[in-house]
Every structure is written in C-alpha cells, then in structure tokens.
Amino acid sequence: VTSETQAYLESHPELPEFAQDAAALAHALKHGMSFGGELRLDSALTFDTHAGHTTLALPNQEQLFQRIAQVFEIFSGIEYRAGESMFDRTTFVYLQEMSRPPELNGADGKDHNPHTNAIFLAGRGVNGGRTIGGSVFVPASGSDLGVPALTAAPFDFASQRVTPDAQALIYP
C-alpha cells in the first residue's frame, strides 16, 4: 500500500471493504504495481436463488449495481494525470459464471442455466451503449432437458449481429 493509497483510505473511512479494495487496486494500477486485478463485489449477496427468487433477486441486483457504480466513482475520482482519471485508463469487465432460466421452479426459485450469460464492459476502449449478442427462448418441447431455456442466439462475428444464418455456439 502506497502512502497515497493510505491517505485516500484514511480520508474515506466510510468506505465498505469492497470499495477500499477498489481504491487500493486503482492506486496499484496507477503506480504500475499491477496491470490487472479482480474485485469481489457480490460475495455477501445471494444470487444462487434456488428458492425465494422473487424476493431476493431484485434487491440483490440493485445492491450489486450500486457497488459497481461506487467502484466507477472511486476510479473516476483518482487522477491518473492532468485531465484523466483512473476510470479513463481502466477497462472493466463484469461477469458471472452462468445465468438463470426464464421460469421459476417449484420452490419459487431459479436453477442454473449454463446456455447463456451476460457480460458487461465499461471504461477505456469500450464503445458503450451497445448490446452485442442475444438469447433465444427454447420451449420445453424443443429442449433436450425437457424444460424451457434461454440459449445464446446465433451470432455473426463479421457483422456483429444476431442472425438466424449464423452458426449457433450452444445448443439446448
């Protein structure tokens, strides 16, 4: 931890642990002590909602997005050089290992769906405001598992568009 990092953390005693980690990472990147890092923003949140999805999912998603916004705010507030923040110099990637199916199970929950996922990017080098890719609803009658599913839509990498003529990457 550099003296600059220590001073930042001392001037922001209200920061929760994940935000302190974000500030330490921003300073490590700024001073060339690291070229990348990983922040666990969701460790205290419940996304594995096999039961109680309708009451747990939305509040946890809102809290996660608030945490991401706070990380962006921290990086935006740390100057890299005149007129440029650490947010301007950093590419952010957020992902989870899987998504959820479209329907609730018998316990008001959602099980795992490894056939599609969402990843988002922000910061340096990202041409924002776009959605790339998509998903396709597969009814139970068309699924190998016999349950409805969302699966990655066929994607044409040359045109960067979802198109039925492209090759599907995953089959339900």
Token code pair at residue 45: 């949140």
Q: Kindly report, residue by residue over 77-131, the tens digit of the pLDDT.
A: 999 999 999 999 999 999 877 788 888 889 999 888 877 788 889 999 998 888 8
Residue written as tokens 């419940």? 46
Residue 104 makes CB contacts below 8 A (sequence gap 6+) with: 53, 54, 110
Q: d(Cα 89, Cα 74) in Å, to the nearest integer?
A: 13
Q: List the single range of 20-29, 55-64, 104-113, 150-159 with lowest mean pLDDT.
A: 150-159
The letter for the amino acid at 110 is K
What's the pTM value of the predicted model, to 2 decimals? Answer: 0.82
Closest CA to 45 of 67, 20, 21: 67
pLDDT of residue 171: 47
| 37 pLDDT more than 90 | yes
Between 130 and 21, where is the model more confident? 21
Q: Which amino acid is it at 28?
A: A
Check residues 51 and 113 and name the one with the higher pLDDT.
51
DSSP secondary-structure letter at 97? S
**How far apart are the C-alpha atoms of 85 and 145, rounded to whole Å?**
48
Using the predicted structure, report yes or no on whether residue 69 has a pLDDT greater than 80. Answer: yes
What is the per-residue pLDDT across 128-166, written as a single tens digit (0 to 9) for each? 888 888 888 888 888 877 878 888 888 887 887 887 766
